[in-house]
Amino acid sequence: MIKVANLVKRFGDTTVLDGIDLEIEQGEIIVVIGPSGTGKSTLLRCLNFLERPDAGRLTLGDLDVDVTRATKADILAARRRTAFVFQNYALFANKTALENIAEGLIVVNRWPKAKAHARAREILERIGLADKADAYPASLSGGQQQRVGIGRAMAAQAEVILFDEPTSSLDPEWVEEVLALMKRLAAERQTMLVVTHEMGFARDVADRVVFMEGGRIVEQGPPSQLFNAPRDPRTRDFLRKVLAAQPAVST
């Protein structure tokens, strides 16, 4: 289980996360939505200490820490239990698809190279890129690069995969293949916390949708409830705007 309690993050005088409480069961798929600048990325980044939170308690499996007292070992443990998929893939340009997937296993998990490469080949099969093992990122399409980014997260065998707008820098033609891979992972009950503007994905795949605004969780619930009968006027207002821009999912 993953649990954050009263998570607070400030940048200077600005409170970006204003007491976030969130629990995620193993196998749950959570989608986080909300206006720009609301703290969605910061929430994901605080969960693996890419940002140091100012207050709160974080539970990730058997790790349970007051974030202000987290030691280096706690931070490493949090990073092992979370895997990140970035909007811009963040692949190593000078490493092949196979090496990108194997890298964390070698560096973080201290696996011997041969074992890590064998696992990376299995992952490449699962993400449909077995024939691209030796390709460098520059020779892959955006969709293929993001599938490698997801493959790297799969290899980590983390408690949860954190996705920060995984399709929003892709050309439209590559979005579907990335969403399809994410749907497969969801069907395998990989625990996922996904920030996305893809309302169709949220509606079809999420167990729970969380609406954030101003550094707080305003409302959360199953997609049928949140989309069809939002309780808070801020949720209704946000959904009206995004669904007007994505009419295919507004019915």
Ligand X SMILES: Nc1ncnc2c1ncn2[C@@H]1O[C@H](COP(=O)(O)OP(=O)(O)OP(=O)(O)O)[C@@H](O)[C@H]1O
Taking the least distance from each CB to ligand X, the nearer of 41 and 145 is 41
Instruction: Identify which of residues 99 and 164 has a Cβ nearer to ligand X in the complex.
Output: 164
Contacts with ligand X by CB under 6 A: the residue count is 10
Which of Mg ion, ligand X, none binds 191 (CB below 5-8 Å, type-dependent)? none
37 binds, among ligand X, Mg ion, none (CB under 5 to 8 A by kind): ligand X
* 71 is a contact residue toward ligand X (CB under 6 A): no
Closer residue to ligand X (CB): 39 or 143: 39
For position 42 contacting ligand X by CB under 6 A, the verdict is: yes
Choose between 35 and 61: whose C-beta lies nearer to ligand X: 35
- CA-wise closest residue to 86 among 194, 191, 196, 166: 166
Q: Closer to Mg ion at the Cβ: 15 or 141? A: 15
User: For Mg ion, what does the binding mask look like between residues 33 and 62, x meaning CB under 5 A?
Assistant: --------x---------------------
Of 13, 36, 244, 251, which one interacts with ligand X (CB under 6 A)?
36
Tell whether residue 92 is a contact of ligand X (CB under 6 A).
no
Where on the chain is the footprint of Mg ion (CB under 5 A)?
A: 41
